[in-house]
Amino acid sequence: MATTSVQNIRRLYTMDPGRDGLGIVDNAAVVIDRGRVSWVGPTEAAPAADRVVDGTGLIGLPGLVDPHTHAVWAGSRADEFAQRLAGARYADILEAGGGILSTVAATREADAVQLREHARLRLDHMRSRGVTTVEVKSGYGLNPATELLMLEAAATEHHSIAVVRTFLGAHTVPREFRQNRTAYVEQIIEEQLPLCAPHADFVDVYCDRGAFDRDEAVAILSAGKALGLKVRAHAEQVSYTGIAEAAAKLGATALDHLEKIDEAGIAAMADAGTVAVLLPGAQLYLKDDAPPVEALREAGVPIAIGTDLNPGSSPVHDLWTAATLSTLISGLTMEEALLGITRHAAQALGLHDRGHLAIGAKGDIALFQPPPGEPASMESLLQHMGRPGAHVVLCSEVTD
């Protein structure tokens, strides 16, 4: 098997926790051997390799990780976008039977081929922007068969990037159970979870107005955990429920949104080593307040950033846009934003072999051309939204 050396990278942000800060190496080289990083350092000191990829003038990063998407869905919510621009509120639309429920109706109508093809187009676009690992949720089926279909459509083997799958049967209560929500929670625990758990890595719930309350959420997360799934939740987004504290105490790997989190929730996350996943796209589209970033930072909670790609609250396909928004509207520094889409995002998925470039890590490298006339630095990437795409160097492509 051939070794590959990616050389002359103008500025490499290794994100290696063993180095200072963001682990910057200028005029860097990375050697990949059998899919794993075997050497990182200055190009002039790099060992010989069978193949060379030239990174002259480019900015290098570990392949990006998007830790929160709903990338499998059918249909459109364009009509609701117009309603929301005219003043309708997201939670009111959901409580009136639209929102997530309108995407559920369209997704149930779709077949496996359509769901997979839609997801493929979305994930291909993400990859073109340097994302090499993405989390994808179910949650627009809300019945056993369609939840399973969504998880199957998301499977890594159908896509150009690595996929971590999350079961979200508890996204909201479907129409047919609106008069008997207890029976829906039972169906999730007794039918959906046993069917879907072998096809998922995480269990998630949307605990909020119009969705599930804290006790229901804890019951569902506990049942998923008992089946071996890692725990995460859409927590404290539109209204405060107390789920962040309860889910952290269950050992949640990550908790997402957090606009309304309180001190007890933050303390529980810090104690449990739970990662905060901020979703500035949803914050922007729903005109929500920023999460309490200063308090999360003070408590030492690692912060990741996701697109939350979905057809309603965050039709944001680009992780770089989410990162830039996190600095503009959520209060992150540029260093935090870059960590948030690399090392901390991988940590939010319970993955410790990516999101950084150090010996033994996955050989996913994303090379970026700075915008014309800009220096090869993170400032150029974060300041300019919609700049040129990435040249992604993947171990799977270069070591075969």
Which residue of 33, 66, 308, 364 would you call a contact of ligand NIG, by CB under 6 A? 308
Amino acid at 197: A
Which residue of 99, 265, 355, 370 would you call a contact of ligand NIG, by CB under 6 A? 99
Which residue's CB comes closest to ligand NIG? Answer: 312
Q: Toward Fe ion, which CB reaches closer, 62 or 67?
A: 67
Paired tokens of 63: 């392949």
Minimum distance from residue 33 beta carbon to ligand NIG (Å): 39
201 lines the binding site for ligand NIG (CB under 6 A)? no
Paired tokens of 252: 């949640």
Q: Show the site string, 294-323: x = touches Fe ion by CB under 5 A, - = not.
A: --------------x---------------
135 lines the binding site for Fe ion (CB under 5 A)? no
- The region that residue 219 occupies, defined by phi over 0 for left and psi between -120 and 50 for alpha, beta otherwise, is alpha
Paired tokens of 399: 């070591």
Q: Toward ligand NIG, which CB reaches closer, 10 or 171?
A: 171
The conformation of residue 209, written as its DSSP 8-state character, comes to T
Minimum distance from residue 2 beta carbon to ligand NIG (Å): 42
With CB under 5 to 8 Å by kind, the binding choice for 100 among Fe ion, ligand NIG, none is ligand NIG
Minimum distance from residue 26 beta carbon to ligand NIG (Å): 38
Minimum distance from residue 310 beta carbon to Fe ion (Å): 6
Q: Toward ligand NIG, which CB reaches closer, 1 or 85?
A: 85
200 lines the binding site for ligand NIG (CB under 6 A)? no
Minimum distance from residue 103 beta carbon to ligand NIG (Å): 5
Dist CA 249 CA 271 (whole Å): 9
Q: Toward ligand NIG, which CB reaches closer, 25 or 255?
A: 255
Provide the 10 A C-beta neighbour count for residue 68: 32
Minimum distance from residue 132 beta carbon to ligand NIG (Å): 22
Q: Toward Fe ion, which CB reaches closer, 308 or 318?
A: 308
Q: Toward Fe ion, which CB reaches closer, 283 or 327?
A: 283
Distances (CA, A) of 79 to 82, 86, 93: 5, 11, 11
Which residue of 3, 69, 103, 241 would you call a contact of ligand NIG, by CB under 6 A? 103
202 lines the binding site for ligand NIG (CB under 6 A)? no
Dist CA 27 CA 41 (whole Å): 9
For residue 156, list its beta bridge partners. Answer: none
**Exposure string over 174-202, b if 16+ CB within 10 A, otherwise e:** beebeeeeeebbebbbeebbebbbebbbb
Dist CA 69 CA 385 (whole Å): 20
With CB under 5 to 8 Å by kind, the binding choice for 261 among ligand NIG, Fe ion, none is none
The count of residues interacting with ligand NIG (CB under 6 A) is 14
312 lines the binding site for ligand NIG (CB under 6 A)? yes
Q: Toward Fe ion, which CB reaches closer, 46 or 233?
A: 233
Q: What is the DSSP string of 126-190?
A: HHHTTEEEEEEE--S--SHHHHHHHHHHH-GGGSSSEEEEEEEEESS--GGGTT-HHHHHHHIII
Closest CA to 370 of 11, 6, 22, 27: 11
Minimum distance from residue 186 beta carbon to ligand NIG (Å): 22
282 lines the binding site for ligand NIG (CB under 6 A)? yes
The conformation of residue 335, written as its DSSP 8-state character, comes to H
Closest CA to 22 of 13, 30, 10, 31: 13
Stretch that binds ligand NIG, among 9-17, 241-249, 258-266, 306-314 (CB under 6 A): 306-314
Dist CA 325 CA 22 (whole Å): 20
**From the centroid of its chain, how far is CA 353?**
16
70 lines the binding site for ligand NIG (CB under 6 A)? yes
Closest CA to 212 of 234, 232, 244: 234
Binding stretches for ligand NIG (CB under 6 A): 70, 99-100, 103, 206, 234, 237, 282, 308, 310-314
Binding stretches for Fe ion (CB under 5 A): 308
